[in-house]
Structure 1
Amino acid sequence: MLYVLIWIIVLLISTALFRYVSGSLSIVQPNLVSIVYYYSLLVSSFIGSLFIVLGIDDYYMTKKLFRPEEYRVIGFAVVCFVMVFLPLSMLLVSRLCGFEAKKEFHRYLESPIKHITANRNEFFYLFLLLSGVSLLAIVYTIWKTPHVPIFALLKGHGHTSLAELRIEASRYFKGNVLFRNIFAISLTPLLSIIAYIFTVLTNEARWKLLFLVLFAAAVFINIYDLAKSPIFFYLIMFLLVRIYIGKTRLSSAKVLIYGLAGSILLIGMYVVIQGVNDVGAFLSYNKGPLGRILFAQITPTFLHLNLFGEALPFLHGRSLPTFITGLFDLENIRSARMVMAHVFPERIEDGTGGVLNTLFVAEAYANFGYLGIIIGTFYVGMIIQLLYICFIRLPKNPVFLSLFVYFSVNIPRTIVGGFTDFLFNPIWILLMVLFGGMVLFLRVKGDFMSFIRKRGILKN
């Protein structure tokens, strides 16, 4: 009963803080911070942690804990710490920046989309060139993937399971992983979103055609390895864009309908891809989709706390970005892979095990102990709020809006993926530099051309 009371108190405090720093926790007006609260913390972490500390989870991963009574409590305490101190760090940033979340978010939500007025044709051709690179990157991804899982599903995969093919597609990719991740997996969906906004704004045939091509490419790259979550997050990006440009207004009924449709699609994917035949176990709270949502993301945090410093040595920075570890001639090691190898070595051997991604504080702890949890929580909170404030205050044009939506979906995913991606993420940096630089270049060029025309240096 004590843990339930603590959980309720933390929930109330955390909800109040997140409402203040986000401007809105309404499910019909989602934003970057509210998605972090609902998806990354409340659903994927906080609810499951209560089941675990009460010992009623009956989840296969928690059975791997040694001294489980002790580490169930420690893990619960760490999650409660994150629930309160993550929004506190965001509140600090808001105060320093003079950010009035409720007022500024609603103003952004209601403001009209602004066209990129300068050099429209030049922007389209630059965008077309970038789209060509993205499509070539998808072809490259298919070429360098030994067995493309989606093709195997359609034509038959023999004795090799689809789970094994998924792992092979990721771990045994024969090309440049960074090129694939940036230009095929990350860039294509973002380009399709930008093309969609321009299609709505201009109603031009060239943008419509380009959008259709990019949309088809984005759907393919999100399902090619049979991962279940990417296509859902891509559709959520579309929903967010339509909300922000005023094409969709959510209601409780619509949210319910979308939720039911998504659940049916998810169940269908589990049945087809996972080959589920035990319906009872599939619908259980600790198995199937529900078990994955409530426990799969948070239980590895408990395992990290249990293993590092006990069965495994602290990494002392070895899972930091490779450009940092390379300076000290250290091998880059991801804690999520080490935990998988220690807890489920048989999955590593048979090729069905990848990594046990979890709440970002787990990787921070694996490197620097409890100090890593404290510093990491404040650091991640500040990064999230700075990005949120920047995008809310940037011009609401197709490029910046699409980047805002991209980060609104990808930051929540990264929070339950690891800590080091918040220190240095080449994909995020390249996308911001690429599109920010493109908009800035065209604007500066437009201003310069306008200036010299006014001075009579260049005639129209």
Structure 2
Amino acid sequence: MLYVVIWLIVLVVSTGLFRYVSGSLSVVKPNLVSLVYYYSLLISSFIGSLLIVLGIDHYYMTEKLFRPEEYRVIGFAVVCFVMVCLPLAMLFISQVCGFHPKHEFHRYLKSPVQPIGANGNEFFYWFLVLSIVSILAILYTIWKTPQVPIFALLIGHGDTSLAELRIAASMHFKGNVLFRNIFALSLTPLLSLIAYIFAVFTNEARWKLLFLILFAGAVFVNIYDLAKSPIFFYLIMFLLVRIYIGKTKLSSAKVLAYGIVGGIALVGMYIIIQGVHDAESFLSYNKGPIGRMIFAQIAPTFLHLNLFGEALPFLHGRSLPSILTNLFDVDNVRSARMVMAHVFPERIEDGTGGVLNTLFVAEAYANFGYLGIIVGTVYIGIMIQLLYICFLRLPKNPVFVSLFIYFSVNIPRTIVGGFTDFLFNPIWVLLVILFGGIVLFLRVKEDVWLWFEKRGMLKKIRVR
């Protein structure tokens, strides 16, 4: 009963803090911070942590805990800390920046989409080059993947299970992983969102055609390895774009309808891809889709807390981004992979085990102990809120809207994927520099030409 009371108190406090720092927790007006709250914390972490500390989870991962009574409590305390400390860090940076969440978020929603420069042709040609690169990257991904799982599903996969093919597509990719991840997996969906906004507001055939090509490519890269979640997150990004440009208004009924359709599609994927047919797996709270939502992302946090410092040594920075570990000639490792290898070695051996991704504090703890949890939570809270503030204050053009949506969906996913990606993520950095650079270049060029035109210099140049 004590844990239930604590859980309810933390829920009330955390919800109040997140409502303030986000400007809105309404499900019909989603934003970066509210998605972090609902998806990363409430659904993926907080609900499961209560069932685990009460000992009524009966989940296969937590059965691997040694001294379970102690570490169930420790894990619950850590999750409660994150639920409160993360929005407190956001509140602090909001006060420092003079940010008024409710006012600025609603103003952003109502603002019209602005064009990028006076010359739409120039941006289109830049965009066309990037689109060609992304399509070539998709073809490269197909070429360098030993056996593309989606093709194997359609034409037959012999004795190899689809689960093994999924892991092989990721772990045994024969090409440049960074090139694939940036230009095929990340760039294509983002380009499709930008092209869609231009197609809507210009109504030009060239943008419509380019959007259809990029949309097909984005759907493919989100389903080619038979992972279930990426295609859902891509469709959510698409929905958010329509909301932010004023083409869709959500209601409770629409949210419910989308949820039902998504649930049916998810069940279908479990049946087709994983061969699950019994009703118990779909209805049980600790198996199938429900168990994956409320336990699969948080149970590994308890395992991290249990194993590192006990059965496994602390990493002391070895899982930091490779660009940092290489400077000190240290082999890069991921704690999620180490936990998988320690707890489920048979899955590593048979090729069906990858990593046990979980709440970011787990990897922070694996590296630096409880100090890592405290510092990591404050750091990520500040980073997320700064990003939220920046996008709400940037010009609302197709590129920045699409980048805003991209981060609004990918940051909540990364929060339950690890900690080091928040220290240095080459994909995020490149996308920001690439698109920010193009927009800045076009803006500066336009300002320079305007400066010359006002002074009559353009006429003199043309005469000469």
TM bracket, shorter-chain basis? over 0.9
- Residue aligning to 1:326: 326
- Residue aligning to 1:93: 93
- Residue aligning to 2:204: 204
The amino acid that maps onto 1:202 is T
- Residue aligning to 2:416: 416
Cα drift, residue 182 of structure 1 = 0.3
The amino acid that maps onto 2:5 is L
- Residue aligning to 1:269: 269
- Residue aligning to 1:286: 286
CA contact (8 A) 1:7 1:50 kept: yes
Q: What are the equivalent positions in structure 2 for 1:378-457 lying under 5 Å apart?
A: 378-457=378-457
Distance 1:105 1:263 in 2: 30
- Residue aligning to 1:376: 376
Distance 1:248 1:201 in 2: 14
- Residue aligning to 1:252: 252
Distance 2:12 2:454 in 1: 60
Distance 1:100 1:158 in 2: 58
Cα drift, residue 450 of structure 1 = 1.8
Deviation digits for residues 211-248 of structure 1, max 9, x if unmatched?
00000000000000000000000000011010011110
- Residue aligning to 1:317: 317
Distance 2:454 2:51 in 1: 69
Q: Secondary structure at the match of 2:418?
A: coil
Cα drift, residue 277 of structure 1 = 2.1
The amino acid that maps onto 1:153 is L
CA contact (8 A) 1:45 1:297 kept: yes
The amino acid that maps onto 2:423 is L
Cα drift, residue 117 of structure 1 = 3.1
Gaps of 5+ in 1: none
Deviation digits for residues 52-82 of structure 1, max 9, x if unmatched?
0000000000000000000000000000000
CA contact (8 A) 1:360 1:419 kept: yes
- Residue aligning to 1:107: 107
Q: What are the equivalent positions in structure 2 for 1:215-254 lying under 5 Å apart?
A: 215-254=215-254
Q: Secondary structure at the match of 1:296?
A: coil
Distance 2:151 2:134 in 1: 20
Note the aligned Cα RMSD (angstroms): 0.7
Q: What are the equivalent positions in structure 2 for 1:327-342 lying under 5 Å apart?
A: 327-342=327-342
Deviation digits for residues 37-62 of structure 1, max 9, x if unmatched?
00000000000000000000000000
- Residue aligning to 1:162: 162
Deviation digits for residues 299-336 of structure 1, max 9, x if unmatched?
00000000000000000000000111111111000000
The amino acid that maps onto 1:108 is Y
CA contact (8 A) 1:363 1:418 kept: yes
Q: Secondary structure at the match of 1:330?
A: coil
Cα drift, residue 424 of structure 1 = 0.2
- Residue aligning to 1:137: 137
CA contact (8 A) 2:21 2:91 kept: yes
Deviation digits for residues 235-264 of structure 1, max 9, x if unmatched?
000110100111100000000000000000
CA contact (8 A) 2:20 2:101 kept: yes
1:8 aligns with 2:8: yes
Q: TM-score, length-normalised on structure 2?
A: 0.98
Distance 1:453 1:248 in 2: 40
Deviation digits for residues 381-416 of structure 1, max 9, x if unmatched?
000000000000000000000000000000000000
Distance 2:388 2:457 in 1: 42
Distance 2:38 2:347 in 1: 31
Distance 2:449 2:175 in 1: 43
Distance 1:310 1:35 in 2: 34
Distance 2:206 2:27 in 1: 35
Q: What are the equivalent positions in structure 2 for 1:342-357 lying under 5 Å apart?
A: 342-357=342-357
Distance 2:282 2:412 in 1: 26
Cα drift, residue 454 of structure 1 = 2.5
Cα drift, residue 286 of structure 1 = 0.3
Distance 2:74 2:451 in 1: 64
- Residue aligning to 2:193: 193
- Residue aligning to 1:65: 65
Distance 2:283 2:160 in 1: 26
Distance 1:412 1:42 in 2: 11
Identical positions, percent: 80
Q: Secondary structure at the match of 2:330?
A: coil
Q: Secondary structure at the match of 2:309?
A: coil
1:43 aligns with 2:43: yes
CA contact (8 A) 2:117 2:442 kept: no
Cα drift, residue 36 of structure 1 = 0.1
CA contact (8 A) 1:169 1:225 kept: yes
Deviation digits for residues 168-218 of structure 1, max 9, x if unmatched?
000000000000000000000000000000011100000000000000000
Distance 1:282 1:147 in 2: 29
Distance 1:108 1:136 in 2: 35
CA contact (8 A) 1:118 1:442 kept: no
Distance 1:45 1:393 in 2: 31
- Residue aligning to 1:121: 121
How many corresponding residue pairs?
460
- Residue aligning to 2:83: 83
Distance 1:133 1:249 in 2: 34
Cα drift, residue 116 of structure 1 = 1.2
The amino acid that maps onto 2:131 is S
Gaps of 5+ in 2: none
Cα drift, residue 278 of structure 1 = 1.8
Deviation digits for residues 241-297 of structure 1, max 9, x if unmatched?
100111100000000000000000000001000001222123211000000001000
CA contact (8 A) 2:146 2:174 kept: yes
Distance 2:33 2:184 in 1: 27
Distance 1:93 1:349 in 2: 46
Distance 2:133 2:446 in 1: 25
CA contact (8 A) 1:118 1:443 kept: no
CA contact (8 A) 2:267 2:282 kept: no
Distance 1:396 1:33 in 2: 18
